[in-house]
Chain A
Amino acid sequence: MNIVIIGNGISGISTARWLRKLSDHKITVISSESDHFYSRTALMYIYMGHMRYKDTKPYEDYFWEKNRINLVNDHVEGVDYQNKTLSLKKGKTLQYDKLVLALGSKSNKFGWPGQDLNRVTGLYNLQDLEKIESFSEGLNRAVIVGGGLIGIELAEMFHSRHIPVTMFVREASFWDAVLPIEESQMITRHILKNGIDLRLGTNLKEIVDDGNGNACAAVAAESGEKVDCGYVGLTAGVSPNVGWLKESGLEINRGIVVNDKLETNQSDVYAIGDCAEQANPLPGRRGVEAIWYTGRMMGETCAYNICGHDVSYDPGIWFNSAKFIDIEYQVYGEVLAKPKEHHKALYWEHEDGEKSVRILYDVNDQSIVGFNLMGIRFRHEVCEKWLREKTNVKEVIANLTMANFDPEFYKKYEEDIAKSFSSQCDLSFSNPKKSNLDRVLSFLKA
């Protein structure tokens, strides 16, 4: 069987790798972004000089030939679903038996005047990074519009090169649509502490043209203030990169609509990763989840389905992670900005204001619902097991040391946390038991 995958990001490459593990089919991956798979999440580190482009490639270049994964650097311009043919920019056509669309996202633009000027980009792919690099020399100031995970990365990038940064953030506190208010305020403080000019409650009105087609200032909608700058970064979220397929007969809503087997409405065509939208998302999940981890899971699931194993896509218990300049963030389970009515949140914050643990439980049966961590690392599998088994919150607190994943010799805060939590609700939590890896291993095996 001849399988063609469009897109060499984490989703497409996961499919290719798993197809090779499971089968002997012919595998072709097409991308016009890069010759080889690289880690998109590491774009910021290339700019900051932590790594070179080649350090971000998870597999050495010989890997692809050795595993008979055929890489094609070209741009797909059209798909003929009836004849199962792709037309490529460099003029060739390509036949497929099964087609996997792993097209990724593109940065959102909300119709702002000047949004298509030169010196305005998002931060999504290598080409964006190349442009940002070329605008950086002698740059007096960068304005970043949008305060999500990519916005803070872009701010940190410029900050690392001592380029002044102004951020226009619509929300009243940083990323408060996702983070509960205390965590959101912690990150807000951290951004300000780093000397980044954070403008909360600020929308972009327009980007000003310098007369030569280059952005030279950004205007705030509320105050009308004009911030002079040599670059504007648009990081107000991403949306599925499906515009070019709109008229092709593929069912598209926000993303390419897929069933639980990741199949589209066209036969033998699958869609995965950022560009896919679940027709029936599982409870508590969104149709489009543009994150690394779900992309990888979809890639794997898709390979199984192509190889004739019937596997429904199930992303399992929600988890995600990020880093806000120096503060690491992890979330497991259901932690919303505003907890659901029957969810109770317990929150502990270290006196340095840069570490916190939030635990949510269901008041009806005291079962654990979610963990939100700032500046403290938790063990994924332990949290996942507690969440899957709906463990009683008292038992979770009593064994909280098992979840700690901080490096050796780090200060432990479980006692403080248990005390603080006891004062916040009518449950009295016992002092957490001491723990070590052996205990964790036997807990996970049980």
Chain B
Amino acid sequence: MSEVYKSMSISNPHPPFEDGIQKAMAAVAGVGLLILILATIGIDSVSTPLNLALSIALMSIGTLGFAYRAFRIKPAGIKNNGVMFSSTMSRGVIGWIAGIVITGFYVVLYWYEGLLGLGANGAANTGLVGFFDPLAMAIKGTPASQWFVYGTLYTVAILIFGVRFIWRYRHNRYQVIRTLSVMGFQLFFAYLIPEILESLNGDYAAKWFDKDMKNMWPLDYDMFDAWHINNMSTTGILGWGFLIFSLMMIFVVSPFLTYKYGKRWYCSWVCGCGGLAETAGDSFRHLSDKSMKAWKIERWMIHSVLVFVTIMTIAVVYGYLGDGSQYYITRTMFTIIVVAVLIMVAGAFYHFMNKRKDAQKDLQKIIMGIAAVIGVILLINFLTGSGNAFFIDNYSIKKWYGFFIGAAFSGVVGVGFYPLMGSRVWCRFGCPMAAILGLQQKLFSRFRITTNGSQCISCGNCSTYCEMGIDVRSYAQKGQNIVRASCVGCGVCAAVCPRGVLKLENGSTDVFEKTIDIRNNHVQMDTV
């Protein structure tokens, strides 16, 4: 009955959800943004430290003031009023403009940094990057780069919209604590600590390596590049510490935490991409596509990226390992280790999943995926010998990955498309880290979303507000627990449910049969 929906949007397209104070606050934020734009286009008189502070302050005050009126002054509770009538939040004209502007900003950031004023060949910064120089000098003692500007704005966005999110869900302690967590991880682990460590690392200033402790392979796809490994292993205790910590995170900490709590420990509590999605992207979470078709595309895409990044990383490492004179291990030893690890992983999946009828298809695909990776590795080793997988230079593969996946997908599409496809486009369709954690979550984790008996009324709030596009209702109305690889455990489905049907929880006694019970079958066949 689509005509009902259409006629309704005509009769009341713009109900009055924004009051005068909110409009004034939007204007205040607009002035802050205008200062940034003026500095960017090179109006030198604007470019003072005071104006930088003023710009960030005005954007913060305006956004927070708007959010205060929207949420804080109203009784606590779920207030999604007017979301579907909003031009910004429902792909209206403002939504499209916002999508295009943010996408444009990312294109400039990644490929035309000169337009932002980054000084080429040691020249002084101008424009937007120059505008941020005083702040960079204060924090780390060197001029800004476009990435410092981006990191600062990113962190400010997570903090401001984090406060907004907390006001919005202040009745829900899970949401409040989770949001404080992503705000804290962004501010300290992704922004302040790495920048400060960088400034303390004076002797090794030229030997940059990633000091964001929570940035893990394969999300951090150049972790194992020769220059990165070299920089880590030649910068004393700090570098070695980070190298060992990174390996521990990948192989020990992450699998353990995912077993205990599901992938949410990372994706909606720690990760920076997730942090921005949960805060600045919160208004767009309902725009994710819930169709079965989208789910199919998602599974193909995200797992292809995972397989690809795995092969690419192995090929890159293989490429720079020589005969053993430069590194401790030779190419052949490395190949044997990798193949052995992969066979063990495949064996573990087989061991745990073979008895489960519900997991047979997944099992087949996983084994096939791993077999393909092993095949490619052996091909690299025995056919090419030169260290060039696919007979082309490994670093040029990596360059293209960096272009298409690392920049275009995770940045430009991942954030630029917030107002068009929802806040988790990257996390859902592209992030190889999310793919690995998702497999673990689905197959051996204590985490699930429990459905409360037969209480579901099929209203659809849970599915609508799922940022990962999971049709939560399809499980809830059957009375089945929700165990999906993509679920980041944000908990919003449970928050918006008007009947208290969903609960995120962990249990160890039914890890392999979490989804078997269908609680909402009224008639039991064995009693018929």
Q: Which residues of A contact B (CB under 8 A)?
A: 10, 33-36, 38-39, 41-42, 45-46, 48-60, 62, 126, 129-130, 133-134, 136-137, 160-162, 193-194, 292-293, 296-297, 300-301, 304, 309-311, 316, 319, 321-323, 325-326, 328, 330, 377, 379-381, 384, 405-411, 436-438, 440-442
Known: A330-B500, A408-B505. A46 touches B8 (CB 8 A): yes
Q: How far is the CA of A407 from the CA of B264 in the complex (A)?
A: 15
On whether the beta carbons of A130 and B7 are closer than 8 Å, the reply is yes
Chain B nearest Cβ from A374, distance in angstroms: 11
Is B81 located at the chain interface by the 8 A CB criterion?
Answer: yes
Q: Which residues of B contact A441 (CB under 8 A)?
A: 507, 509-510
Q: Which residues of B contact A325 (CB under 8 A)?
A: 75, 77
Chain B nearest Cβ from A141, distance in angstroms: 16
A interface footprint on B491-517 (CB within 8 Å = 1, 0 otherwise) = 100111011100111111110000000
With beta carbons under 8 angstroms apart, the residue of A60, A301, A328 that contacts B499 is A328
Known: A10-B458, A41-B459, A58-B460. A53 touches B4 (CB 8 A): yes
Q: Which residues of B contact A48 (CB under 8 A)?
A: 80-82
Looking across the interface, which residue of chain B has its beta carbon closest to that of A307? B528
With beta carbons under 8 angstroms apart, the residue of B80, B507, B523 that contacts A438 is B507
Chain A nearest Cβ from B184, distance in angstroms: 16
Q: How far is the CA of A440 from the CA of B453 in the complex (A)?
A: 13
Q: Which residues of B contact A (CB under 8 A)?
A: 1-2, 4-5, 7-8, 11-12, 15-16, 75-78, 80-86, 171-174, 177, 291-292, 450, 452-455, 457-461, 463-464, 473-474, 477, 491, 494-496, 498-500, 503-510, 519-523, 528
Looking across the interface, which residue of chain A has its beta carbon closest to that of B80? A50
Known: A53-B4, A328-B498. A380 touches B455 (CB 8 A): yes
Q: Which residues of A contact B86 (CB under 8 A)?
A: 49
Q: How far is the CA of A392 from the CA of B459 in the complex (A)?
A: 36
On whether the beta carbons of A49 and B457 are closer than 8 Å, the reply is no
Among B452, B463, B495, max chain A CB count under 10 A is at B452
Q: How far is the CA of A436 from the CA of B508 in the complex (A)?
A: 10
Known: A46-B8, A330-B455, A409-B173. A54 touches B503 (CB 8 A): no
Q: Which residues of B contact A46 (CB under 8 A)?
A: 5, 8
The total of interchain contacts (Cβ-Cβ below 8 angstroms) comes to 190
On whether the beta carbons of A55 and B464 are closer than 8 Å, the reply is yes
Chain B nearest Cβ from A152, distance in angstroms: 12
Looking across the interface, which residue of chain A has its beta carbon closest to that of B82? A49
Chain A nearest Cβ from B264, distance in angstroms: 10
Chain B nearest Cβ from A406, distance in angstroms: 8
Looking across the interface, which residue of chain B has its beta carbon closest to that of A377? B500
Q: How far is the CA of A194 from the CA of B454 in the complex (A)?
A: 30
With beta carbons under 8 angstroms apart, the residue of A10, A49, A51, A407 that contacts B174 is A407
Known: A311-B523, A441-B509. A39 touches B459 (CB 8 A): yes
Chain B nearest Cβ from A332, distance in angstroms: 9
With beta carbons under 8 angstroms apart, the residue of B1, B455, B460, B506 that contacts A42 is B460
Q: Which residues of A contact B519 (CB under 8 A)?
A: 380-381
A-B contact pairs, 7 of them (CB 8 A): A39-B458, A51-B459, A62-B292, A162-B16, A310-B528, A321-B500, A438-B507
On whether the beta carbons of A304 and B523 are closer than 8 Å, the reply is yes
With beta carbons under 8 angstroms apart, the residue of B15, B77, B172, B509 that contacts A407 is B172
Q: How far is the CA of A344 from the CA of B169 in the complex (A)?
A: 37
Known: A34-B1, A301-B522. A50 touches B84 (CB 8 A): yes
Known: A50-B464, A194-B75, A409-B177. A380 touches B458 (CB 8 A): no
Contacts A193-B75, A379-B452 aside, 4 further interface pairs with beta carbons under 8 A come to A10-B458, A39-B460, A41-B458, A377-B452
Known: A377-B500, A441-B507. A51 touches B173 (CB 8 A): no
On whether the beta carbons of B504 and A407 are closer than 8 Å, the reply is yes
Looking across the interface, which residue of chain A has its beta carbon closest to that of B489? A408
Q: Which residues of A contact B474 (CB under 8 A)?
A: 58-59
Q: Which residues of A contact B507 (CB under 8 A)?
A: 436-438, 440-441
Q: Which residues of A contact B460 (CB under 8 A)?
A: 39, 42, 45, 51, 55-58
Q: How far is the CA of A292 from the CA of B507 in the complex (A)?
A: 31
Q: How far is the CA of A34 from the CA of B5 in the complex (A)?
A: 12
With beta carbons under 8 angstroms apart, the residue of A50, A296, A328, A408 that contacts B500 is A328
On whether the beta carbons of B174 and A300 are closer than 8 Å, the reply is no
Q: Which residues of B contact A126 (CB under 8 A)?
A: 1, 4
With beta carbons under 8 angstroms apart, the residue of A54, A377, A438 that contacts B5 is A54
With beta carbons under 8 angstroms apart, the residue of B457, B509, B522 that contacts A297 is B522
On whether the beta carbons of B1 and A39 are closer than 8 Å, the reply is no
Chain B nearest Cβ from A70, distance in angstroms: 17
Q: How far is the CA of A41 from the CA of B292 in the complex (A)?
A: 24
On whether the beta carbons of A438 and B509 are closer than 8 Å, the reply is yes
On whether the beta carbons of A293 and B503 are closer than 8 Å, the reply is no
Q: Which residues of B contact A409 (CB under 8 A)?
A: 173-174, 177
Q: Which residues of B contact A34 (CB under 8 A)?
A: 1, 4
On whether the beta carbons of A50 and B509 are closer than 8 Å, the reply is no
On whether the beta carbons of A53 and B1 are closer than 8 Å, the reply is yes
On whether the beta carbons of A51 and B8 are closer than 8 Å, the reply is no
Looking across the interface, which residue of chain B has its beta carbon closest to that of A320? B455
Looking across the interface, which residue of chain A has its beta carbon closest to that of B6? A53
Q: How far is the CA of A408 from the CA of B474 in the complex (A)?
A: 23
Q: How far is the CA of A380 from the CA of B479 in the complex (A)?
A: 11
On whether the beta carbons of A326 and B4 are closer than 8 Å, the reply is no
With beta carbons under 8 angstroms apart, the residue of A55, A321, A407, A442 that contacts B494 is A407
Q: Which residues of B contact A10 (CB under 8 A)?
A: 458
Chain A nearest Cβ from B1, distance in angstroms: 4
Q: How far is the CA of A410 from the CA of B495 in the complex (A)?
A: 12
Q: How far is the CA of A126 from the CA of B509 in the complex (A)?
A: 45
Chain A nearest Cβ from B265, distance in angstroms: 12
Q: Which residues of A contact B5 (CB under 8 A)?
A: 46, 52-54
Q: Which residues of B contact A437 (CB under 8 A)?
A: 450, 505-507
Q: Which residues of A contact B173 (CB under 8 A)?
A: 407, 409-411
On whether the beta carbons of B459 and A380 are closer than 8 Å, the reply is no
Q: How far is the CA of A297 from the CA of B474 in the complex (A)?
A: 17
Known: A41-B459, A407-B491, A408-B174. A319 touches B11 (CB 8 A): no
With beta carbons under 8 angstroms apart, the residue of B461, B503, B520 that contacts A51 is B461
Chain B nearest Cβ from A309, distance in angstroms: 4
Q: Which residues of B contact A134 (CB under 8 A)?
A: 7, 11
With beta carbons under 8 angstroms apart, the residue of A50, A57, A60, A62 that contacts B83 is A50
Task: List the 6 closest A-B pairs by CB distance, nearest first.
Answer: A380-B453, A326-B77, A437-B507, A377-B500, A42-B459, A53-B5
Q: Which residues of A contact B520 (CB under 8 A)?
A: 296
Looking across the interface, which residue of chain B has its beta carbon closest to that of A132? B8
Q: Which residues of B contact A410 (CB under 8 A)?
A: 173-174
Q: How far is the CA of A410 from the CA of B86 in the complex (A)?
A: 32
Chain B nearest Cβ from A131, distance in angstroms: 11
With beta carbons under 8 angstroms apart, the residue of A133, A160, A297, A379 that contacts B8 is A133
Chain A nearest Cβ from B215, distance in angstroms: 26
Chain A nearest Cβ from B111, distance in angstroms: 37
On whether the beta carbons of A52 and B453 are closer than 8 Å, the reply is no
Chain A nearest Cβ from B180, distance in angstroms: 11
On whether the beta carbons of B494 and A292 are closer than 8 Å, the reply is no
Q: How far is the CA of A407 from the CA of B171 in the complex (A)?
A: 11
On whether the beta carbons of B498 and A136 are closer than 8 Å, the reply is no
Looking across the interface, which residue of chain B has its beta carbon closest to that of A309? B528
Chain B nearest Cβ from A327, distance in angstroms: 8
Q: Which residues of A contact B11 (CB under 8 A)?
A: 133-134, 136-137
Q: How far is the CA of A311 from the CA of B173 in the complex (A)?
A: 45
Q: How far is the CA of A381 from the CA of B479 in the complex (A)?
A: 11
Looking across the interface, which residue of chain A has its beta carbon closest to that of B84? A49
Q: How far is the CA of A194 from the CA of B83 in the complex (A)?
A: 20
On whether the beta carbons of B292 and A60 are closer than 8 Å, the reply is yes
On whether the beta carbons of B528 and A50 are closer than 8 Å, the reply is no
Q: Which residues of B contact A39 (CB under 8 A)?
A: 457-460
On whether the beta carbons of B457 and A55 are closer than 8 Å, the reply is no
Among B80, B292, B454, max chain A CB count under 10 A is at B454
Q: Which residues of B contact A309 (CB under 8 A)?
A: 528
With beta carbons under 8 angstroms apart, the residue of B85, B459, B510 that contacts A49 is B85
Q: How far is the CA of A410 from the CA of B174 in the complex (A)?
A: 7
